[in-house]
A and B are shown apart, each in its own frame.
Chain A
Amino acid sequence: ETGVTQSPTHLIKTRGQQVTLRCSSQSGHNTVSWYQQALGQGPQFIFQYYREEENGRGNFPPRFSGLQFPNYSSELDVNALELDDSALYLCASSSSFGTDTQYFGPGTRLTVL
């Protein structure tokens, strides 16, 4: 059984640029959630995708958007990067939305200069 994988592991961008982060869900999982973890803080929920549809969203602006593909892998896109977007971005997958246990990937460390 393959766990949750994310790419790239590290990324450096400059303010105003756009970035795409990728996540492959665990085998058999159809739900993917994205979280932003700023330094010294807990993860903050960005949004969740279930069977290619956005299933819920946290308090993040529209420049944070995403996709889920038929194989249930997912992308997180962030436009017009700001310095405060520097964080660890975590992807988690589960076998259904709602209360099912989520399994996290190792994260992508994004630095915005």
Chain B
Amino acid sequence: GEDVEQSLFLSVREGDSSVINCTYTDSSSTYLYWYKQEPGAGLQLLTYIFSNMDMKQDQRLTVLLNKKDKHLSLRIADTQTGDSAIYFCAETTGGFKTIFGAGTRLFVKA
């Protein structure tokens, strides 16, 4: 079946890099996404990667995709206190459905 799993918590110091990991089960995934959700807010699309890519970089964000292991990661360079939020990994599969993980709560310590 379709499933996306993430670790629940990550704590880093301000200025360090954060790496949030995700695994998924559906090998027919076409797009994989990272969303950010701040308290009381909707989801903000951070970045996405096509399933035929290995890496994508967008300013402080680097996405790595290992399709063989069905593993996706998001690296945030120079993490700031404003990056504290919940980060969701998601995959689009079946043409219309997007499957989300449970989210990783990132705590950034000043």
Contacts and interface: CB of A to CB of B under 8 A. Distances in A.
A41 B105 CA distance: 11
Interface residues of A, number: 26
A105 B41 CA distance: 9
A88 to B, nearest CB: 8
Given A40-B102, A42-B102, 17 more contacts: A33-B96, A35-B100, A41-B102, A42-B4, A42-B90, A42-B100, A43-B88, A43-B100, A45-B97, A50-B96, A90-B43, A98-B95, A98-B96, A99-B95, A101-B31, A103-B45, A104-B43
Interface of A: 4, 33, 35, 40-45, 48, 50, 55-56, 58, 90, 92, 97-99, 101-107
13 contacts: A35-B100, A43-B43, A43-B100, A45-B97, A48-B96, A48-B97, A90-B42, A98-B95, A99-B31, A101-B45, A104-B42, A106-B42, A107-B42
